[in-house]
Structure 1
């Protein structure tokens, strides 16, 4: 009964704040519904339309990608020397094999025979060297595009099949950074007409509307069964559901339970996890959030398990810091319930910090991600109990990126943060004080020192322990109000198979085919 009452409150609030808007990085429950997929059943099985919630970055150059949604789509287009598998392993891709020597500082890669770029040119060692040096800012201009590459001492090609990367110091996680896309050195059109080596090649883009990919028939590996994939952008959740019901969309990830429940038997609903950290992210440089007692009070005021039940139908995994379960050994489950809702403790901390009557808080949320909107609505209700008057500010995705992520001009926000590669570093480095993507302005000398120790650690167990200390630092100092790794509901046309979940935020269409 309590859940139904809260759900009713949320529904009323959503209607008042945002009639008919939604979709995005979400979760939820099962099936049911009406008239889905009649047109889809007649569509060719080698052509599908995939619904997505946001446009891609203005530049499609993978070395300059900002949005996780762009990486999710373009995962099908680009490859590195190695690439991830659905099991979380790294396998050789543009390289056929590699060896590690020199006490963990020398990586020797042999290029795979027959790898071609989408423009028909063969991949050469010059392309590999250029791609890595570009991301390492080897010319001394600017900062590295891939932070791990700042540890590179040299990149050399002793012959036309071999690339040798020498590090300044051993790095247990360096191999994962070599998922960075290998690009043609003599091509300058990556921003608008990207060229990679993946199983699909870029065909066209209509800004704000769609992106079209096509099977690359000269791909070195197993060819996809699909010939054409059109990613159709729906910034309205209502429009997305209607498109699914009509059969205009064949596949869509990150649905909410409510959306999935409106689809009929023409769709199968696959259930995975988003592999991201959803939180109420706090601008630590903005008053009153610059006071650790205030941030801790917010943590004590929130019931994350209720959030998971209401927003994700219980499918999300509770989190206590900036790491999610798919990272295995790095995930510290003991932090999950470090804060359990204690309203009196929250009120006491607010009084101690000089806010006995609470304060006003603006939560800026991207309007195209319904699960984050739903989460913010639950938080608004929970925070009222300790006198915090939270108001939701809905902005379009482009505004969120420019104002919140880049300019850091906000108080708080509800989003999900993912890992660009399968490394703990990718999740934790963003909170170091000098990191350019530290959009919450977390500033801790102790945290910075732990990161430096972890980066220099040669022993894997020691590095893992240091990363867990960093996670605890974020939790104890309430850098953010950590919530969940959202459940991920994927609607897949019932006559299709082969969709696979990954431990990072990507959408791999290379295995999708008629069942």
Structure 2
């Protein structure tokens, strides 16, 4: 699965999910996750967690976070866009979660176990858990929440074939599956599996999601769906003494330049969307800095395989060979990204980025490949791009030039974001620039979203269909972590590299611009951030 980022840096996915698909990892149960731990952050950039450079941080105060899109809904089961997801996860929390390295950790659950046959999942809730209205959290609340998710489905539906969800007592929850589904524990960590009160605490669904009750560190105080959202601290939060700040304000700043200016002026404490090209400016600022983390995002060039030209695999392969992805990455990402060979970011297990045989830059080979197609003399096509993203605009120009070298004339069609979304949802494009992002620390998260022709996104709106890939997708879901699962994904990813329904371009880091006075902001690889440890130096 993946979810969408409505903003452009900007996603996307999380550079990054710049827009929509943020569409998302590392370290599922039994797997190890590097989560960029072996990659040195650019000079003067902090990795994952901010640390103060001024006075001793204080407790209290208001933290103002500049964001490019407003929060329009807090219904965790019906949302997928990052503008909403990264507010939902401040109110609702799941039984398990992922940390800044993308590793699964117990969260509302004190512990969990998985039966040897992979069918039974048992969770024990933490002692003293309360909702933000002061009522106790019980296993029945978890049953209600997960069953509601199963009923609603939604864009991040529970994919496992669930047999039963039962509360053994107030603290023990048991979930049984009809068949093994290895990604299940990882998928339970995403925001859509947060726990809410049984029966919506006695109010209607509509009323509940206007003023939701959860276990998260913050509670909604005021909310303008076309503007700002103000959270206040949850006084019943289970992590004693946290959050340290009194209020968290999501401030709408739609223009990147304004966001940077407000950060420099101290009008905001941090900005969510920091474009790669602006990172060094903030990193070198007197009172500002950049914190980074490896992301679950892959920036990509997508092909509509229903299109007359891009239904031809030789055309797709030719353009992949004509494109210098390494040069593109170096030119546009300022050291905050890694060239992609595989669909899966290097922060996700089984990514195969270093071993996969990708179609690397070779113009002569590209011309030869095009000669095998139904269009050996080239053709004219269009590349759809959402406006307002300078990095994407430059990507488009580089791709346009690459196409020209082999006789493919690419016209760049730059349109505003809402129309862009409508167009690709309707398959009304030949090629487009976008990014895919996993929503949980699991290879299946992004693979399923981009390879299942019958899934929610129809292979990320490319309608790419390969029966062998679909078979491998389902095998990977049922196979336990280990060598056998690795072999499945290696074969699947190699097929994608050979048939290129999308060309992976690069894996961008997550970047946040913050004031030097901020301590304790934790950046997650899905692009979200945790604020419960934040302190602001006086």
Same fold (TM over 0.5): yes
The Cα offsets for residues 232-252 of structure 1, whole Å up to 9 and x where unpaired, read as 233322222222233222212
**2:62 is aligned with 1:62:** no
Q: 1:258 to 1:459 in 2, by over 3 A?
A: closer
C-alpha distance in structure 2 between counterparts of 1:53 and 1:357, whole Å: 43
**2:160 is aligned with 1:150:** yes
**2:83 is aligned with 1:83:** no
The Cα offsets for residues 413-432 of structure 1, whole Å up to 9 and x where unpaired, read as 22221111111111111111
C-alpha distance in structure 2 between counterparts of 1:156 and 1:251, whole Å: 42
C-alpha distance in structure 2 between counterparts of 1:363 and 1:183, whole Å: 43
Kept in 1, the 8 Å contact 2:59–2:245? The answer is: no
Counterpart for residue 476 of structure 1: 498
Deviation at 1:22, TM superposition (A): 6.3
**2:186 is aligned with 1:176:** yes
1:192-231 to structure 2, matched below 5 A, reads: 192-222=210-240, 223-231=242-250
The structure 1 residue matched to 2:415, chosen from 383, 395, 399, is 395
Unaligned segments of structure 2, at least 5 residues: 1-6, 17-40, 46-57
Q: Secondary structure at the match of 2:77?
A: helix
**2:138 is aligned with 1:124:** yes
Unaligned segments of structure 1, at least 5 residues: 1-20, 33-42
Q: 1:336 to 1:384 in 2, by over 3 A?
A: farther
Q: Give the aligned CA root-mean-square deviation in angstroms.
A: 2.7
Counterpart for residue 68 of structure 2: 53
Q: Secondary structure at the match of 1:491?
A: strand
1:300-315 to structure 2, matched below 5 A, reads: 300-315=321-336
With 96-105 and 187-196 compared, the bigger mean Cα shift is at 187-196
Counterpart for residue 166 of structure 1: 176
C-alpha distance in structure 2 between counterparts of 1:191 and 1:360, whole Å: 48
Deviation at 1:152, TM superposition (A): 1.1
Q: Secondary structure at the match of 1:394?
A: strand
Counterpart for residue 414 of structure 1: 433
**2:469 is aligned with 1:440:** no
Q: 1:291 to 1:466 in 2, by over 3 A?
A: same
Counterpart for residue 251 of structure 1: 270
Counterpart for residue 353 of structure 1: 373
Q: Secondary structure at the match of 1:62?
A: coil
Q: 1:185 to 1:294 in 2, by over 3 A?
A: farther
C-alpha distance in structure 1 between counterparts of 2:199 and 2:129, whole Å: 17
Deviation at 1:202, TM superposition (A): 2.4
Kept in 2, the 8 Å contact 1:418–1:505? The answer is: no
Counterpart for residue 397 of structure 2: 377
Counterpart for residue 236 of structure 1: 255
Q: Secondary structure at the match of 1:297?
A: helix
C-alpha distance in structure 2 between counterparts of 1:286 and 1:59, whole Å: 35
Counterpart for residue 37 of structure 1: none
Q: 1:163 to 1:312 in 2, by over 3 A?
A: same
C-alpha distance in structure 1 between counterparts of 2:109 and 2:94, whole Å: 8
Normalising by structure 1, report the TM-score.
0.85
Kept in 2, the 8 Å contact 1:30–1:260? The answer is: no
The Cα offsets for residues 59-87 of structure 1, whole Å up to 9 and x where unpaired, read as 32111222234323433222111111113
Counterpart for residue 344 of structure 2: 323
Q: 1:459 to 1:231 in 2, by over 3 A?
A: closer
Counterpart for residue 24 of structure 1: 10
Q: Secondary structure at the match of 1:326?
A: coil
Deviation at 1:102, TM superposition (A): 5.6
Counterpart for residue 38 of structure 2: none
The Cα offsets for residues 87-144 of structure 1, whole Å up to 9 and x where unpaired, read as 322222222222223622111112223222334433222221121122223xxxx757
Deviation at 1:337, TM superposition (A): 6.2
Deviation at 1:231, TM superposition (A): 1.9
Q: Secondary structure at the match of 1:64?
A: coil
Kept in 1, the 8 Å contact 2:469–2:495? The answer is: yes
Normalising by structure 2, report the TM-score.
0.82
Q: 1:173 to 1:44 in 2, by over 3 A?
A: closer
With 75-84 and 118-127 compared, the bigger mean Cα shift is at 118-127
Q: Secondary structure at the match of 2:257?
A: helix
